[in-house]
Amino acid sequence: MKSPPVVAIVGATGAVGVEFLRCLEERHFPVAELSLLASARSVGKELTFRGVKHKVAELTEASFEGVDLALFSAGGSISKKFGPIAAKAGAIVVDNSSAFRMAPDVPLVVPEINPQAARQHKGIIANPNCSTIIAIVPLWPIHKVNPIRRLLAATYQAASGAGAAAMQELLDSTRASLEGREHKHTVLPHPYAFNLFSHNSSVDPQTLYNEEEIKMTRETRKIFGDDAIRISATCVRVPVLRAHCEALTIECDRPITPAQVHALLAKAPGVRIVDDTGRNYFPMPKDAAGQGDVLVGRIRQDISDPSGKSIAMFVAGDQLLKGAALNAVQIAELLLK
């Protein structure tokens, strides 16, 4: 990809689209020209990038002429239609939806784990699911040294994972609840204020796992290049605006101690240890939000496994940043090297 590239952002007015702009600006990503694309209802809106206001244009099949890099975050159906069009026009597509993640010829990339895969693209690179990224960034340094054989995950997922409308619904419903007013939920399937519920993706009638849980399983195996890892996830939506948390328990090939895990993660890229037992201070959404590291704490031996091979931990990461926009921009940075 030439530098500086002509960049297009598809879904520019959405929650992740706004974070694309922020990441490009804060990381000083070289941009020759910028095109902001969205649906017809957003045409004419203005977003500011590096002090300059840019108007949003309607996404069409002709939108990608001369574009070198297209960052997509507009949903799977839009990606399936326009991703190949953008790639055919000569752009490298970094797609944030699930449309291409499991396609065998599309690399699924987390730069801290498999940066080499980005170079194997055929015009489209997939950004993994947010829950997957936040879990596996701190697990990879362990897996490289002492292979993980089993992963049990329970997620506590923020409204940001369902987009800006869900974030607003959480705000509105919480305000209504505090004021004693009724609030009709329209974005998510259940009342959100002071409530939590199983992730709002569809449930497979055979396995009884929902789509989010299945994504974590399949994507982790693909990124790690290891189909033998046994994975079970339970994904839950919680009333937090942004930043997902996850309780992770891993079983390794050989015995492993919390001290060894601390040592591995202390030098791992994209990871910050927050593990203050004395103050009972561990990863929280309030600390994860707005920054790019995955916070890791509660690192302890799983006392239910007498073999000493299992570790439990708690992690938190900003779903809009490392779980989405930041990871995509980091992928784009790999293409400039």
Q: pLDDT per residue over 141-179, tens digit each? A: 999 999 999 999 999 999 999 999 999 999 999 999 999
Do 90 and 234 fall into the same domain?
Answer: no
Do 155 and 259 fall into the same domain?
Answer: yes
Which pair of tokens denotes residue 96? Answer: 């944030």
pLDDT in tens, 30-75: 999 999 999 999 999 999 999 999 999 999 999 999 999 999 999 9
Judged against a pLDDT cut of 90, whether residue 337 lies above it is answered with no
The mean pLDDT of the chain is 97
120 within 8 A of 107, measured Cβ to Cβ: yes
Number of domains the chain contains: 2
Whether residue 181 lies inside any domain: the answer is: yes
Cis check: omega of the bond before 5, within 30 degrees of 0: no
Q: Which pLDDT does position 134 carry in this prediction?
A: 98
Q: Which pLDDT does position 1 carry in this prediction?
A: 86
pLDDT in tens, 196-239: 999 999 999 999 999 999 999 999 999 999 999 999 999 999 99
- Residues forming the active site: 130, 244
Q: Which pLDDT does position 93 carry in this prediction?
A: 98
Judged against a pLDDT cut of 90, whether residue 127 lies above it is answered with yes
296 within 8 A of 273, measured Cβ to Cβ: yes
Do 203 and 86 fall into the same domain?
Answer: no
**Spatial separation of the C-alpha atoms in residues 322 and 272, rounded to whole Å:** 13
Do 116 and 167 fall into the same domain?
Answer: no
Overall pTM surpassing 0.85 (yes/no): yes
**Spatial separation of the C-alpha atoms in residues 308 and 57, rounded to whole Å:** 57
Q: Which pLDDT does position 250 carry in this prediction?
A: 98
CATH code of residue 123: 3.40.50.720
What confidence category does residue 251 fall into, taking pLDDT thresholds of 50, 70 and 90?
A: very high
Tell which residue, 331, 107, 141, 119, has the closest CA to residue 219: 107
Do 143 and 86 fall into the same domain?
Answer: no
What confidence category does residue 135 fall into, taking pLDDT thresholds of 50, 70 and 90?
A: very high
Do 44 and 154 fall into the same domain?
Answer: no
Residue-range definition of the domain harbouring residue 27 = 6-128+324-336
